[in-house]
């Protein structure tokens, strides 16, 4: 069972800030690691994150700030990870042996590059954390709407439903309802795949495709996700429920979706590098599509949308040509 003491949050981006807002509703003390010491000092003084979700007022009397990630880990029992997957390995460097008897909760929606592992798999294989001591936070939700206190839903997955419920209770409030699941694998991989689909949706939007095409794209994407999950880890999951279909829809359509925004820029002619620089945010799907493509070399699942995004981003195929080819593969 999860310890009820000492909760740490690692990461000071938009999702980390939104999670801090939720946790501070339900805990007396939060250990929060933020990499930039200047950001820590700003929050301590002004009670706002200077870079992300600046409208959120944070109760700093409940926060112990850490600029050293190792000290934050050592001072906590339950560790919530909100560091983008591409930076996770580097951020955790030197923390070997620190996760024994700790519960890890991933709020990351990406794959660790170089390993082709989700965050749960990464902690299990690299840091030897048992899957029974790992939880997953998934949507459908965007940090921006949590900041605005618009009604949102989270799904908390863990092998033990009591652990999932403990985490869910610490993230729930009048504008957030948190449900529980035991499908760690499915919810985590679905979150990775929907980011790739959102890039495809954005590219299509940037090219001038309308809602009719987007509807067909998303319905095909759901079947693509189902094929991948069924082939790699079959379960009795309901693919049309919120953590799968709901998360896919909100990420593919929302104005707050960074992956859709990134895709739209690609569709309008930006290079991947210039789009990332202008956004100043991480589009996890950019990295994830390469990892999924490599993983799928083993399973050979039919994934035309993933392949199209890969060809555009990594093979430098014209978005207009690649989406035109994709048209004929959709049903």
Positions marked catalytic: 194
Q: Which two tokens stand for residue 75?
A: 């001072």
What span, in angstroms and rounded, lies between the C-alpha atoms of 192 and 183? 14
Phi-psi map region of 59: left, alpha, beta (phi>0 left; psi -120 to 50 alpha): beta
- Residue 140 preceded by cis peptide, ω within 30: yes
Phi-psi map region of 269: left, alpha, beta (phi>0 left; psi -120 to 50 alpha): left
Task: Please give the angle made by the CA atoms of 114, 102 and 92, to the nearest 5 degrees.
Answer: 35
> Residue 149 carries which DSSP code?
T
Is residue 24 a contact partner of residue 44, using CB atoms and an 8 Å limit? no
Q: Name the H helices within the chain.
A: 14-23, 37-46, 69-74, 85-91, 119-126, 143-147, 161-171, 184-207, 211-232, 247-253, 258-267, 272-279, 284-299, 304-314, 319-327
């Amino acid at each position: 069972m999860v310890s009820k003491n000492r909760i740490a949050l690692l990461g000071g981006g938009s999702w980390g800030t939104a999670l801090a807002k939720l946790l501070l509703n339900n805990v007396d003390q939060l250990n929060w690691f933020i990499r930039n010491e200047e950001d820590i000092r700003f929050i301590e003084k002004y009670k706002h994150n200077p870079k992300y979700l600046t409208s959120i007022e944070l109760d700093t009397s409940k926060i112990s700030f850490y600029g050293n990630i190792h000290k934050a880990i050592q001072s906590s029992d339950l560790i919530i990870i909100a560091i983008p997957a591409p930076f996770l390995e580097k951020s955790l460097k030197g923390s070997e042996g620190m996760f024994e008897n700790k519960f890890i909760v991933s709020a990351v929606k990406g794959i660790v590059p170089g390993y082709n592992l989700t965050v749960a798999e990464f902690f299990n294989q690299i840091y030897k954390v048992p899957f029974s001591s790992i939880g997953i936070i998934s949507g459908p939700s965007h940090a921006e709407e949590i900041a605005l206190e618009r009604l949102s839903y989270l799904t908390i997955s863990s092998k033990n439903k009591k652990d999932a419920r403990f985490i869910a209770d610490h993230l729930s409030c009048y504008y957030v309802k948190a449900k529980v699941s035991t499908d760690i694998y499915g919810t985590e991989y679905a979150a990775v795949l929907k980011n790739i689909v959102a890039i495809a949706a954005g590219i299509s939007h940037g090219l001038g495709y309308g809602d009719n095409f987007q509807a067909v794209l998303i319905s095909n994407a759901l079947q693509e996700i189902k094929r991948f999950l069924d082939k790699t880890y079959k379960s009795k999951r309901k693919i049309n429920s919120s953590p799968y279909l709901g998360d896919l829809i909100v990420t593919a359509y929302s104005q707050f979706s960074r992956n859709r925004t990134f895709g739209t820029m690609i569709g309008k002619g930006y290079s991947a590098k210039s789009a990332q620089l202008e956004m100043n945010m991480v589009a996890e799907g950019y990295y994830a599509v390469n990892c999924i493509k490599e993983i799928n070399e083993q399973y050979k699942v039919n994934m035309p949308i993933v392949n199209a995004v890969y060809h555009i981003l990594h093979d430098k195929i014209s978005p207009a040509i690649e989406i035109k080819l994709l048209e004929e593969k959709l049903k």
